[in-house]
Amino acid sequence: MNNLLFARIQMGYSLAFHIIFAVVGIAMPVLMAMSEIIWLRRGNEAARELTKRWAKGTAIFFAVGAVSGTVLSFELGLLWPKFMEKTGPIVGIPFSLEGFAFFTEAIFLGVYLYGWDRISKRAHLLAGIVIALSGAASAGFVMMVNAWMNCPGGIEFDPTSDTFTKVSILQTMFSRTWLVQTAHMLVAAYAATGFAVAGVHALALLKGKATEFHQLAFSIALTLAIPMALLQILVGDWTAKSVANTQPIKFAAMEGQFETERRAPLRLGGIPDAQERKTRFAVEIPGLLSFLGYGDFNAQVKGLNSFPPQEQPPLLIPHLCFQLMVLIGMYMALASVWCLWTYWKKRTLIGSPRLLVTIVGAGPLGFLALEAGWMVTEIGRQPWALSKIYKVSEVVTPMPGLAVPCAVFFLVYCFLALTVFIIMRRQFRETTLTAGYDPCK
């Protein structure tokens, strides 16, 4: 394998590792704030204990997320030096703003953890709200960079001198796809984390420990997860139309669309065959891809055969990951509808074991959908690092021997993952023992 492949592998697993901790850092403060509001309004001691437990878990994920995020910032410069050399003055601004948001989140997380009974209740709640807002802002600033990489705007590029001219910083920061990508990311983070937390407590409820602690945690988590999972249907449709209009080659790769045609079919499943230029074994729904991309069943969808072969991304991974992401999204949306229907009929979700099993199943799936979505975003942009301007092969480091750091960092991430698992297992056991249930027996 060559250096480019090792660089891409290292960057890929670094992002895959970091994204889990990032989304938990975005969403858990919202759950913390919701729980603390219940405590302040009702004087519910279970809500106070729950808030404290969630805050400790958030701190663990935040710490590891800070480490993995720092590694990513170094990798950008070490693995892709030309990219940072040429685009640094542009992407440096949103990255710096993300740093300020991160520091704000860290400072107020410290206040939140150590401020119990030391500051007023309102000030403590305000600290939690600032943490939640800082996490969302941090995501927004990072998405500024990714959106610009997918759809660069606010610049003119001179290939002769290999320089950017007439740079508009505001246009580069708020590019055409920034808002939709940010919305998609935030809604996914809230839905995934909400279902993950609900799944943990649904498992305890299935074991017969319907304590106030678990019931409260379960209901708060679903209060966040359900509307986000349903909202993601609309945001996903918005995202698909954005990709179709700004990145048509990625849109074609996502759906295995080889020919340019009107009334293009939406494909369920299937395996894209790059040699035969067709997608095999797919169930096709005529016209639905045209509608998904352009809001018109008769709209023309540009196929992969209309683009130069050297500019086409790998086909199998984006297609399968897109299918997986949509499938999980539909699962979570249907689970949400089931929850709403059950609550409307029975005024409770606790007495439905099948529904609880469904929520337990949704727990890890949200994070799997996030990983799949990022693979669609990043692999679907290949071979470009900055679309239509720099290919990844042009900006990779010339330093040889990348197999060694690739292997070393992989082992480091495995160690970090194992450490987090052990710490969170102990934290979970302590939490559930407090609530009268030991999951480790």
Quick: pLDDT tens for 286-340: 999 999 999 999 999 999 999 999 999 999 999 999 999 999 999 999 999 999 9
Burial environment of residue 404 by CB neighbours within 10 A (0 to 12, 13 to 18, 19 or more): exposed
Mean pLDDT of all residues belonging to the chain:
90
The yes-or-no verdict on residue 117 having pLDDT over 80 is yes
Burial environment of residue 220 by CB neighbours within 10 A (0 to 12, 13 to 18, 19 or more): buried
Q: Determine the 3-state secondary structure of 163 from DSSP.
A: strand
The stretch 59-65 carries a mean pLDDT of 88
The reported pTM is: 0.93
Tokens found for residue 428 = 């979970």
Percent pLDDT > 90 in the chain is 70
The yes-or-no verdict on residue 391 having pLDDT over 70 is yes
Helices (H) and strands (E) in the chain, counts: 13, 10
Contacts of 427 (CB under 8 A, 6+ apart): 53, 56, 57, 60
DSSP string, 259-327: S-EESPPEEES-EEETTTTEEET-EEETTHHHHHHHS-TT-EE--GGGS-GGGPPPSHHHHHHHHHHHH
The yes-or-no verdict on residue 400 having pLDDT over 80 is yes
d(CA 280, CA 278): 6
For residues 130 and 36, the answer to whether their CB atoms sit within 8 Å is: no
d(CA 441, CA 433): 11
Convert the pLDDT of each residue in 70-111 to its tens digit. 888 888 888 999 999 999 889 999 999 999 999 999 999 999
Q: How confident is the model at residue 438 (pLDDT cuts 50, 70, 90)?
A: very low
pLDDT of residue 349: 83
The yes-or-no verdict on residue 441 having pLDDT over 50 is no
